[in-house]
Chains A and B, each alone.
Chain A
Amino acid sequence: MLTVPVEIQILFAGILFLLGLIGLLVRRNMIFMLMSIEIMFNSAGLVFIIASTHWKQPDGQVMFIFILSVTAVEVAIALALLLQVYHHFKTLDADSVNKLKDHN
């Protein structure tokens, strides 16, 4: 039986989420940005599981399954878009995809 305080567990999930946020803000490579989004999704699911274990209710695990399906769809679409971007621009740099910007 795990007796780690629930505050520590949520703190761990928060640290993972913030690491994902830092990665999303710092990296410009689209693969790395997607990976950071995955880290953030995963830590949100971790909070659901922690709450589910804390309150002994199955709802958190149900929510994790929904997060899993949303993540799968998101990754499939995002990677397909990423392939298209690479074919058009020959780079994955997010700052180079700025054809809609005014060049004045």
Chain B
Amino acid sequence: MNLFFYIAAAIAIISTILAISGRNAIHSLLFLILSLLAVSVIFYLLDAPFIAALEVIIYAGAIMVLFIFVTMMLNIGIERRTEKRWLNPRMWIVPSMLAAVLLTDFILAIKHVPASPFADQIILPKQVGISLFSTYLLAVEIAAILLMAGVIGAYHLGSQKKKVTHRFLGKN
């Protein structure tokens, strides 16, 4: 079991590095999907099979397909001038150093996690559902409002506005 965890973690980290350093957007998105699938394996190993299924269906299935559609619609893949300048080592060494400092800080901070006092038991989706619709009912309603706002916003932003010109100014 532990070996599976380490293999999946290594795949996730490597494919994430390839995703953020790639030049071609479609290749990067496919690497990102691979990373999400590896994280989904880790969710399964962490005794959360329901969340693993949600990760595959919603993240890798819906959200990434949205990304791929937009990338294909825009037909990008041509390297931009600025991007090329940003991708040479001189430009990314400083953010990476800062992130490495953060990582050391983080390792020092999580060195002692108290042991869990609870017995070994698996959290079933039933418990998640009961908790979702009793304790977190208000948050579910807020999430519903957020989704509604998202639908309206995406429709408004996505609609192509017809260009209105005055009849004297238009090219008649």
Contacts and interface: CB of A to CB of B under 8 A. Distances in A.
Interface residues of B, number: 81
Contacts of B39: 16, 42, 46
A55 B118 contact: yes
B66 A20 contact: no
Contacts, number: 217
A81 B131 contact: no
Contacts of B95: 21-22, 25-26
A93 B74 CA distance: 13
A87 B148 CA distance: 25
A69 to B, nearest CB: 5
A19 B80 contact: no
B13 A31 contact: no
Interface in B7-49: 9, 12-13, 16-17, 19-20, 25, 28-29, 32, 35-36, 39, 42-43, 45-48
B154 A18 contact: no
Interface of B: 1-2, 5-6, 9, 12-13, 16-17, 19-20, 25, 28-29, 32, 35-36, 39, 42-43, 45-48, 50-51, 54, 58-59, 62-63, 66-67, 70-71, 73-74, 76, 80, 82-83, 86-87, 91-92, 95-96, 98-99, 102-103, 106-107, 110-111, 113, 116, 118-121, 123, 127-128, 130-132, 135-136, 139, 143, 146-147, 149-151, 153-154, 157-158, 160
13 contacts: A2-B5, A9-B5, A11-B107, A14-B106, A21-B95, A26-B96, A34-B67, A49-B43, A58-B127, A66-B143, A71-B59, A72-B147, A83-B158
Q: Which 10 A-B pairs have the closest CB atoms?
A: A23-B20, A73-B150, A80-B157, A25-B95, A56-B118, A76-B154, A26-B92, A80-B158, A58-B127, A18-B99
